A and B are shown apart, each in its own frame.
Chain A
C-alpha cells in the first residue's frame, strides 16, 4: 500500500496523452484512439488488482 501506484498511473496517463498528440499530428487518428484505450486498459488492470488487495485487507481487519 505505498504511493508507487499513483505515480505509475500518472506517468502512464501523461505518456498516453503525449503519444496521442504525436499520433494525431502525424495524421493517424485511429492509432491515437487505440493507444488511449490501451493505456486505459493497462491502468485498469493495475487498479483492479490494487482495489482487490484493499478489500482483502479490509476483510481481514473487519474479520467478516
Chain B
C-alpha cells in the first residue's frame, strides 16, 4: 500500500473536517475519526509480514515462548490508545485524551506483570 494513498486520504479528511468545523463541529470530529480509521485500515494488514518474522524469531527462542505474543498485545494497546487520544486532543478535549493515554498505560502495565515476575524468578535462581 503506497504512501500516496495514505497522505491523500489524510489531506482530504483534514480539508473536509476543517470545512465542517464552523457549521457543525461534531461532524467535523466524525470526519477526522473516519479518516483515521481509513488510514489505519489501509496500513494494518501490511503488518502481517512483521508477525511472520516475529513467529520465526519466536521459534528460535529457547526460553519462554509467550513473550512475543505479549509484545503484540502491548503494541496493539499502544496503537489504539494513541489513536483515540490523538483524536480527542484534536478537538480540544485534551483531558479526555490524557485519560485514554492513562488507561492505555495501565493496561500495558498489567500485561507486563508476568514478564516482571518471570524476571524476578530467574534472578532469584541465579543469586544464591
Contacts and interface: CB of A to CB of B under 8 A. Distances in A.
B82 to A, nearest CB: 13
A12 B80 CA distance: 27
Band of interface residues on A: 20 to 34
Say whether chain B's binding surface is mostly helix, strand, loop, or mixed. helix
B31 A62 contact: no
Contact of A62 (B23, B41, B76): B76
Contacts of A1: 37-38, 41-42
Contact of A13 (B27, B42, B76): B27
A6 B12 contact: yes
Contacts of A36: 24
Contact of A6 (B16, B45, B76, B80): B16
Contacts of B80: 55, 58
A13 B31 contact: yes
B33 interface: yes
26 contacts: A3-B12, A5-B37, A6-B9, A6-B13, A6-B16, A6-B35, A9-B30, A13-B23, A13-B27, A13-B30, A14-B20, A16-B24, A17-B20, A17-B23, A20-B24, A40-B26, A47-B30, A47-B37, A51-B33, A54-B40, A55-B80, A58-B44, A61-B44, A62-B72, A63-B72, A64-B73
